[in-house]
Amino acid sequence: MSAMIAKMMSTSSGTSLSSTTSPPPQPTSLPVRTIPGGYGWPLLGPISDRLDYFWFQGPETFFRKRIEKNKSRVFRTNVPPTFPLFLGVDPNVVAVLDVKSFSHLFDMDLVEKKNTLIGDFMPSVKFTGDVRVCAYLDTSEPQHSQVKNFAMDILKRSSTIWASTVISKLDTMWDTIESDISKSGSSTYLTSLQQFIFSFLTRCLVGADPSSSPEIAESGYAMLNRWLALQLLPTVKVGLLQPLEEIFLHSFAYPFLLVQFDYNKLVKFVEKEGKEVIERGESEFKLSSQDAIHNLMFILGFNAFGGFSVFFPSLFTAIANDETGIQEKLRKEVREKCGSSDSPLSFDSVKEMELVQSFVYETLRLNPPVPLQYGRARRDFKLSSHDSVYEIKKGELLCGYQPLVMRDPEVFDDPETFVADRFTKEKGKELLSYLFWSNGPQTGSPTESNKQCVAKDYVTLTASLFVAYLFQRYDSITIDSSSGAITAVQKAK
Ligand code: HEM
């Protein structure tokens, strides 16, 4: 594996992995191949692929089967949404499914990210107050730098309260889970978890306490869930009875009208309670007040709340599925580095916990919360995979499905297995260059010139705090692996 990595870094015939912006070296020795696969008959091809994607195969099998059929990790296919009511959406993509071909998506000289957040389909800008927010902006648009710097500033300023806020909101969350267990024998935890996520993020990003508005404190998280669902449904497999899911969830875009009241209530709250942050957006980053408000809403609701709502449950699932005694190992490390519950956890203390951090990275490797990434070729260029070079034409849409890219056997040993300590020690640290959940390598840095997640380090450190808190407070927890519910917690002795 290390030899492979060394080879990729020194003689890469594709894009450079050490930087998200530098131009790639030109291809040298790999054979040039025509991109295999295809788009099928007009209308029929996209519909057949859509049914495979959502119904007959599911996303992972969809991409796996096409890798097998084309004998290549780079191929042409369609991805949903498609006909009948997505007339303006072009489903044709070039899938890039190994680490090397996928990383072209980070090279802003090669790909444009304008309106490609979830593919060629973009939900109406009405969902974001008629503002095209940061995640839909390309780096060539001046507004991107302004908003990205605004977002980075919000995080920087919140750094002094972030860890302590997370810990105090975790106290509340776990008190509720314990009380659920003692009342009814188990806790399905999702509501408590989302209340926790909503309240710590609102405090850290907006500077607001949700309890200043009883309605927002009670149902702000549910309002965000509905707002997120309507934007994402056309592109996500939910698992409802078929063909009902195809007919009702994947055939048309939902109108903003259905969540207008929720969104407007949240905007009012953010406008009032987040006044200081919005004013800084206007004065220091030269944003209009509407741009500042709706970008702040999107960062809070889509990027941050949406991201953590997918990510935290996968940490529980990783614990539930473990058969290697990981709880004991994590508990040992947490107690050694930070003692029992009266020693406060911080970003600095979790940085000392190598296994906790590796456990978080491994969860992100196998379950990247944002599974698909897209980028449109700015010009004709040569794209390399591990074994071949392909000619990409200007305007073609590249589509990377990360759960498979992160199981690239050329880079990760035993790629399908959850190996909790995979990212520890010298060899493990090298692998961080190939951990891509944030739309860039874990060793990269988000800047105004790239599209890497602003909160790349906050996300992994917050998740490490989440895990460390758990094993500081409890000796062990029991999670039912079929229902996902927490059925018992053993308090720290
Ligand atoms: C588990 C949580 C999170 C995950 C999984 C996540 C993931 C991502 C990903 C994959 C992208 C790139 C999307 C693309 O262009 O393809 C992104 C962008 C972004 N994220 Fe995060 N994110 C998370 C949390 C956060 C938080 C807490 C913030 C708060 C500031 C944030 C702010 C942003 C912003 C502003 C962008 C756009 C960057 C740009 O346009 O240059 N994210 N995130």
Q: pLDDT grade, residue 481 (50/70/90)?
A: confident
Distance 243 CA to ligand 1 centre (A): 33
- Ligand 1, atom 3, lies closest to the CA of 307
Please give the pLDDT value at position 176.
97
- What would the pLDDT profile of 293-310 be if each residue is shown by its tens digit? 999 999 999 999 999 999
Q: Which of 270, 281, 267 has its CA nearest to residue 152?
A: 281
The number of distinct structural domains making up the chain is: 1
* pLDDT over 70 percentage in the chain: 94
Please give the pLDDT value at position 15.
45
Q: What is the pTM (predicted TM-score) of this model?
A: 0.94
Distance 446 CA to ligand 1 centre (A): 10
Please give the pLDDT value at position 83.
76
Contact predicate 299/287, CB 8 Å: no
Distance 307 CA to ligand 1 centre (A): 8
- What would the pLDDT profile of 174-203 be if each residue is shown by its tens digit? 999 999 999 999 999 999 999 999 999 999
CA distances from 304 to 52, 315, 319 (A): 31, 16, 23
Look at residue 10 and tell me whether its pLDDT is greater than 50. Answer: no
Angle, in degrees to the nearest 10, between helices 354-366 and 307-321: 110
Please give the pLDDT value at position 16.
42
- What would the pLDDT profile of 217-264 be if each residue is shown by its tens digit? 999 999 999 999 999 999 999 999 999 999 999 999 999 999 999 999
Look at residue 25 and tell me whether its pLDDT is greater than 50. Answer: no
Please give the pLDDT value at position 6.
46
* pLDDT over 90 percentage in the chain: 89
Q: pLDDT grade, residue 8 (50/70/90)?
A: low
Distance 329 CA to ligand 1 centre (A): 31
Separation of alpha carbons 140 and 150, rounded Å: 17
Please give the pLDDT value at position 341.
67
Q: Which of 178, 204, 462 has its CA nearest to residue 345?
A: 462
Q: What's the CATH number where 235 sits?
A: 1.10.630.10
Contact predicate 387/30, CB 8 Å: yes
How far, rounded to the nearest angstrom, does the alpha carbon of residue 403 sit from its chain's CA centroid? 11
- Ligand 1, atom 11, lies closest to the CA of 453
Range(s) of the domain holding residue 164:
2-491
Q: Which atom of ligand 1 is nearest to the CA of 136?
A: 40
Separation of alpha carbons 53 and 66, rounded Å: 11
Q: Which atom of ligand 1 is nearest to the CA of 155?
A: 30
**Average pLDDT in the chain:** 93
Q: Which of 104, 150, 454, 460 to mutate to test the pocket of ligand 1 (most atoms within 8 A of CB)?
A: 454
Separation of alpha carbons 408 and 74, rounded Å: 13
Q: Do the annotations mark residue 338 as ligand-binding?
A: no
